[in-house]
Structure 1
Amino acid sequence: MIWFAVLACGVGCYLLKLAGLSVPSRVLDNPVVSRVADLLPVALLSGLIAVQVFSTNGTDGPQLGVDARLAGLAVAFVALLLRAPFLLVVIAAASTAALIRLG
């Protein structure tokens, strides 16, 4: 049963990729479609980050929580505002979260 699910997911991913490649170029030349395609990954990544930073799994199920990840996110935000290189942003955020968890 598990192999059927793995194969079905593989075929589904292939068909989704094929659908994206099959879109006519006149649709992709539309400025609205181009703008949405540029901003959609940012919105999805922001949503994933928010879920990872603010959710904890308590004894009663998923709950809203704040811990060291929020401080790391804040440091990353400030570093990005200061136009720091991406690698430095990641190191600063991870170090901040690690130091808070250490203490």
Structure 2
Amino acid sequence: MSATVAMILALAVGTYAFRLVGPVLHGRIDISPRVQELLSTGAVVLLVALLATGALTETGHFAGWARPAGVLVGGLLAWRRAPFVVVVLGAAGTTALLRAAGLA
């Protein structure tokens, strides 16, 4: 078995175990409100970090101004509760127009 296959199997088992822990331990462990708050905050911080990394970088370098502008427009449309299709088309359209204008 190659190292790649072994790693994929290990990650699959870990993912399954992680998903199984919730239903198995539900109601058996009490988590303090402070820890619940920290976990919620940590999830938001992780999502924002992933968004920032995806929006601002490409192959380890700054992606240019068009992509962050598109993400900003998409975020504003989502915040205004626009339909998903409008959010995606607005973000993609903004990015495409700025790239066509030479603001890659």
**What TM-score do the two structures reach when normalised by structure 2?**
0.69
Q: Give the CA deviation at 1:101.
A: 1.9
Report what 2:93 is aligned to.
95
2:21 is the counterpart of 1:19? yes
Q: Which runs of 5+ in 2 are unaligned?
A: none
**Equivalent runs, 1:1-103 vs 2, <5 Å:** 1=2, 2-25=4-27, 27=30, 31-32=33-34, 35=37, 40-57=42-59, 62-103=60-101
Identify which of structures 1 and 2 has the higher relative contact order when contacts are C-alpha pairs closer than 8 Å and 6+ apart. Answer: 2
Q: Give the CA deviation at 1:40.
A: 5.0
Aligned length: 98
Residue identity in the other structure for 1:27: D
CA contact (8 A) 1:54 1:64 kept: yes
Structure 1 residues 81, 10: CA separation in 2 closer, same or farther (over 3 Å shift)?
closer
Structure 1 residues 11, 27: CA separation in 2 closer, same or farther (over 3 Å shift)?
same
Write out per-residue CA displacement over residues 11-69 of structure 1, whole angstroms, 9 at most, x where no aligned residue. Answer: 111111112222232637x6556555655544332221100111233xxxx23443311
Distance in 2 between residues matched to 1:72 and 1:32, nearest whole Å: 36
**What TM-score do the two structures reach when normalised by structure 1?**
0.70
Q: Which runs of 5+ in 1 are unaligned?
A: none
Structure 1 residues 88, 27: CA separation in 2 closer, same or farther (over 3 Å shift)?
farther
